[in-house]
């Protein structure tokens, strides 16, 4: 190391190195296949949005908007911008901007990095990744249930163990309002127990006080007026139907009346998939219904449901289960020495790739022996060996790396010869 300080990545933002990236690529493939199995279509939005979008969508009095957003002013034109802390708001913005919604409902998904200025720890980063799924324009409980069933299928497909489903309903606006009035009255009576966050939220977002993780407030929270007692009939029927569908599909769940979700825009169904194996960062997937959001962002009212999963947390869980990292492999390593041989080697490597084979062409010279060591370490099934005498005859030697005889073949027959060896394995 030199004396001058090396530059490090921003705290809480991770490099994903090639070995680990193999796992990401595998995961992304599984996820894509799973989503297409339910007719969801991909959508991609910018990483940067007008700050106003998140203030309007997520709510001013939330952890995210109050203290977690990377917001900045565009130095060139003064625009107020924010690195997206989540993508539901962007997705709805895009759908409205391009008028995708009102002819037909939409099943959409996206994936990518999100940014939140939180205290970094295991499972909590400042740049993290989500796969998000949104169904826009569906009002019934069938879609809520379908999204939960989808998750259950993905966990099965990934071989995840020990994730439990927690479920709740937040009801609709009128019951939320009745509940809110009662909550404020209750917390006002116990002002001495409220911590600073709770005091600040008392009149702006009292529901969030129920989400408090402060041990000193747990007793107070447990005794608070319950939203469940205020629910009206439509919301109850909706919730009953979601549960009935889950039961018919043998998906186990637990009703958690304190599940209120960090974001303001949810109504009716909310859910979280939780594991006890990642410490405090146990929620791997969270979502629910958000019928008010489309209108809040400026569209004609339309119902919506969605969820997002945290990719880092999911992959950490898989690795904890001892999942072997898949490794990308090459089929062929091309070894060569001599000028004529080198020219033929690069031609032959391209020819093999024309034949859809994965090829490492040795670069950087060295003896045959040292090149063969690299071929061995590469995991290739076949080494193609070229010296000047082979090159003069327009031939190459083909060596199966798992043992077996080295053979000379004409350049013309090379792809077939390599394929024969690979298929035998």
Residues of this chain that interact with ligand ATP (CB under 6 A) are 86, 116, 118, 123-125, 128, 130, 262, 281, 283-286, 308-310, 312-313
Least distance in Å: CB of 273 to ligand ATP?
8
Nearer to ligand ATP, 123 or 299 (CB): 123
Nearer to ligand ATP, 315 or 357 (CB): 315
Nearer to ligand ATP, 125 or 239 (CB): 125
Among 183, 178, 179, 180, which residue's Cα sits nearest to residue 194? 183
Hey, what are 58's tokens? 């997520």
Nearer to ligand ATP, 212 or 371 (CB): 212
Which run of H or E residues covers position 195?
A: none
Nearer to ligand ATP, 174 or 280 (CB): 280
Least distance in Å: CB of 175 to ligand ATP?
22
Q: Rounded to an integer, what distance in angstroms lies between the CA atom of residue 24 and that of residue 265?
A: 30
- Cα 70-72-75 angle, rounded to 5 deg: 150
Q: Is 424 exposed, middle or buried (0-12, 13-18, 19+ CB in 10 A)?
A: exposed
Nearer to ligand ATP, 124 or 399 (CB): 124
Q: Which residue is nearest to ligand ATP (CB)?
A: 310
Least distance in Å: CB of 338 to ligand ATP?
53
Least distance in Å: CB of 147 to ligand ATP?
14
Asked if 210 and 258 touch (Cβ cutoff 8 Å), the reply is yes
C-alpha 59: how far from its chain's center? 23
Least distance in Å: CB of 417 to ligand ATP?
49
Asked if 137 and 106 touch (Cβ cutoff 8 Å), the reply is yes
Residue with tokens 């909550």: 183
> Which phi-psi region, left, alpha or beta, contains residue 347 (left: φ > 0; alpha: ψ -120 to 50)?
alpha
HEC assignment per residue over 107-140: EEEEEEEEECCCCCECCECCEEEEEEEEEECCCC
Listed in order, strand segments (DSSP E) in 138-297 are: 164-169, 254-255, 267-274, 283-289
Least distance in Å: CB of 12 to ligand ATP?
8
Listed in order, strand segments (DSSP E) in 154-257 are: 164-169, 254-255
Nearer to ligand ATP, 262 or 338 (CB): 262
Least distance in Å: CB of 287 to ligand ATP?
7
Asked if 267 and 291 touch (Cβ cutoff 8 Å), the reply is yes
Nearer to ligand ATP, 225 or 282 (CB): 282
Least distance in Å: CB of 285 to ligand ATP?
6
């Amino acid at each position: 190391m030199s004396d001058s300080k090396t530059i490090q990545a921003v705290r809480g933002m991770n490099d994903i190195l090639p070995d680990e990236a193999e796992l990401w690529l595998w995961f992304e493939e599984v996820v894509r296949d799973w989503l297409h199995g339910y007719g969801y279509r991909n959508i991609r939005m910018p990483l940067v949005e007008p700050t106003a979008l998140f203030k309007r969508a997520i709510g001013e009095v939330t952890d995210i908007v109050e203290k977690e957003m990377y917001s900045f002013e565009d130095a060139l034109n003064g625009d107020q911008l924010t690195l997206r802390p989540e993508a539901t708001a962007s997705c709805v913005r895009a759908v409205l901007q391009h008028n995708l919604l009102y002819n037909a409902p939409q099943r959409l998904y996206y994936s990518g990095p999100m940014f939140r200025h939180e205290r970094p720890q295991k499972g909590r980063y400042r740049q993290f990744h989500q796969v998000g799924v949104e169904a826009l324009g569906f009002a019934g409980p069938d879609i809520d249930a379908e999204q939960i069933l989808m998750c259950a299928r993905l966990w099965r497909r990934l071989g995840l163990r020990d994730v439990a489903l927690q479920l709740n309903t937040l009801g609709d606006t009128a019951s939320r309002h009745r509940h809110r009035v009662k909550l404020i009255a209750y917390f006002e009576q116990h002002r001495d127990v409220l911590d600073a966050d709770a005091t600040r939220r008392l009149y702006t977002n009292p529901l969030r006080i129920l989400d408090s993780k402060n041990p000193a407030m747990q007793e107070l929270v447990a005794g608070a007026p319950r939203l469940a007692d205020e629910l009206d009939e439509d919301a109850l029927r909706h919730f009953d139907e979601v549960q009935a569908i889950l039961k018919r599909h043998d998906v186990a769940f637990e009703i958690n009346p304190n599940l209120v979700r960090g974001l303001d825009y949810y109504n009716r169904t909310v859910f979280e998939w939780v594991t006890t194996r990642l410490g405090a960062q146990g929620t791997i997937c969270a979502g629910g219904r958000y019928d008010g959001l489309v209108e809040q962002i400026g569209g004609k009212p339309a119902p919506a449901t969605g969820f997002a999963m945290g990719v880092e947390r999911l992959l950490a869980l898989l690795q904890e289960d001892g999942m072997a990292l898949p490794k990308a492999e090459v089929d062929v390593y091309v070894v060569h020495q001599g000028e004529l041989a080198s020219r033929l080697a690069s031609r032959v490597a391209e020819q093999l790739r024309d034949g859809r084979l994965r090829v490492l062409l040795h670069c950087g010279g060295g003896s045959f022996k040292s090149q063969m060591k690299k071929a061995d370490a590469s995991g290739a099934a076949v080494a193609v060996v070229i010296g000047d005498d082979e090159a003069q005859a327009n031939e190459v030697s083909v060596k199966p790396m798992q043992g077996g005889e080295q053979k000379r073949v004409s350049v013309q027959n090379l792809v077939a010869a390599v394929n024969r060896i690979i298929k035998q394995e």
